Chains A and B, each alone.
Chain A
Amino acid sequence: DGGITQSPKYLFRKEGQNVTLSCEQNLNHDAMYWYRQDPGQGLRLIYYSQIVNDFQKGDIAEGYSVSREKKESFPLTVTSAQKNPTAFYLCASSRAGGDRVMDIQYFGAGTRLSVL
């Protein structure tokens, strides 16, 4: 999984609780992404960031929040507003955002979130 570290590997959330998933990369990549993976649905983009202090909503941002205060870190918070948070969450990074279509995205090992 290259230079992207996600923690924890497993996480449990109680009703009404916010939880934060960590993503750190040492690849010196500008762009970072969060995806949600559900069985049979492939990956869906939650948020992405092309540069420090900037981020944009993806396709399923409701109930999630992010920050990008440092280049190497892009934490994802699953808020209590996300009513169906059980899923496998994947963080990725690439050299640049924008129109660099040839850039490969590198993925972390993922965090599996379950609701108690």
Chain B
Amino acid sequence: AQSVAQPEDQVNVAEGNPLTVKCTYSVSGNPYLFWYVQYPNRGLQFLLKYITGDNLVKGSYGFEAEFNKSQTSFHLKKPSALVSDSALYFCAVRTSGASGYNKLIFGAGTRLAVHP
């Protein structure tokens, strides 16, 4: 069964420190991976995606993610956290080859809290 796991409900980090939000996946076929961010009472905003190619993907607002096929992980990272990065982060996966449509499977979300 296809699934996405975000093992941490919340991540706390001090402003200026590097941050990592973890994501692991389980899919058949090639994984297509996405990160979205959600601010309070708002919709989701696209951050970055991995389709193929370079394992390090750069996205919006200084975020990047590293695809690791052997560990089936796609962790979100940022070298220096800002208080304004505090939000709910979702990892999502879509596999190729399935019939139908662009369905995304979302993780449960990780709340990032950046403290001044």
Are A97 and B100 interface neighbours, CB within 8 A? yes
User: Which residues does chain B contribute within 8 Å of A101, judged by CB atoms?
Assistant: 32, 51, 94-96, 102
Chain A residues at the B interface, C-beta cutoff of 8 Å = 1, 4, 6, 31, 40-45, 48, 50, 56, 58, 90, 92, 94, 96-110, 112
> Contacts A1-B45, A97-B101, A99-B101 given; 6 further ones with Cβ under 8 A?
A42-B108, A44-B106, A102-B49, A105-B104, A107-B36, A108-B43
Chain B residues at the A interface, C-beta cutoff of 8 Å = 9, 32, 34, 36, 41-46, 49, 51, 90, 94-104, 106-109
**Could you tell me the distance between the alpha carbons of A43 and B41 in the complex, rounded to whole angstroms?**
14
Cross-chain contact of A102 among B32, B41, B43, B45 (Cβ < 8 A) = B32
Closest to A43 in B: B106
User: Which residues does chain B contribute within 8 Å of A43, judged by CB atoms?
Assistant: 44, 90, 104, 106
Are A1 and B49 interface neighbours, CB within 8 A? no
Main secondary structure of the interface of B (DSSP, over half): loop
Interchain residue pairs with CB less than 8 A apart (11): A1-B42, A31-B101, A42-B106, A97-B100, A98-B100, A98-B102, A103-B102, A105-B44, A105-B102, A109-B42, A109-B43
Are B43 and A98 interface neighbours, CB within 8 A? no
User: Which residues does chain B contribute within 8 Å of A97, judged by CB atoms?
Assistant: 100-102
Closest to B30 in A: A101
**Could you tell me the distance between the alpha carbons of A99 and B96 in the complex, rounded to whole angstroms?**
7
Are B42 and A48 interface neighbours, CB within 8 A? no
Are B42 and A110 interface neighbours, CB within 8 A? yes
**Could you tell me the distance between the alpha carbons of A94 and B101 in the complex, rounded to whole angstroms?**
11
Give the distance to chain B from A50, nearest Cβ to Cβ, in Å. 6
User: Which residues does chain B contribute within 8 Å of A98, judged by CB atoms?
Assistant: 100-102
**Could you tell me the distance between the alpha carbons of A101 and B49 in the complex, rounded to whole angstroms?**
11
Give the distance to chain A from B1, nearest Cβ to Cβ, in Å. 12
Q: Which 10 pairs show the lowest CB-CB distances between chains A and B?
A: A107-B43, A97-B101, A42-B106, A107-B44, A43-B106, A42-B108, A101-B32, A1-B43, A109-B43, A104-B46
Give the distance to chain A from B23, nearest Cβ to Cβ, in Å. 12
